[in-house]
Amino acid sequence: MSTRIVVVRMKDIIKKGILILIGVLIIGAIVFFIASDKNETSYIPGTYSSEIILNSDPVVIEVTVDENSILDIAMLNMGETQAVFYPLFEPSFETVREEILKKQSTEIETKENAVTTSVLVGAVEKALDEAKKEKEK
């Protein structure tokens, strides 16, 4: 009878050991995914640009990056006519610029001027994609 008790206890020990092993593997997987989720984007340092067409004229969005971060975002060629026809474009650009530089990501949330914000973020993403593509070569 004592052998039977040992066998039952051994089964319990094996079951608990397997459950502990599964738990450790699940926790390890969670930690791995959280740790690998960090924004470790790398770029080729330089200035990259993309264009937005406003009133038949291009507005250039320039993005300056170093190895791991976005250093600056500038808007060039914004004419007086474009500023008159699109009065919210420049203030929206400043808001988008500040948010992207602060978060170091184009995944930003702005509640005002959603369409304009979307266009600006798209132009910044296009420039950043160029910086990433050159890194892959």
pLDDT averaged per 10 residues, the chain (length 137): 60 89 93 69 88 88 91 90 87 91 86 84 92 67
Q: Does domain 46-136 have CATH number 3.20.20.10?
A: no
DSSP per-residue codes, 40-105: -----SEEEEEEEEETTEEEEEEEEE-SSSEEEEEEE---HHHHHH-TTHHHHHHHHHHHHHHHTS
d(CA 29, CA 52): 42
Q: What is the pLDDT of residue 22?
A: 95
Q: What is the pLDDT of residue 8?
A: 58
d(CA 89, CA 59): 11
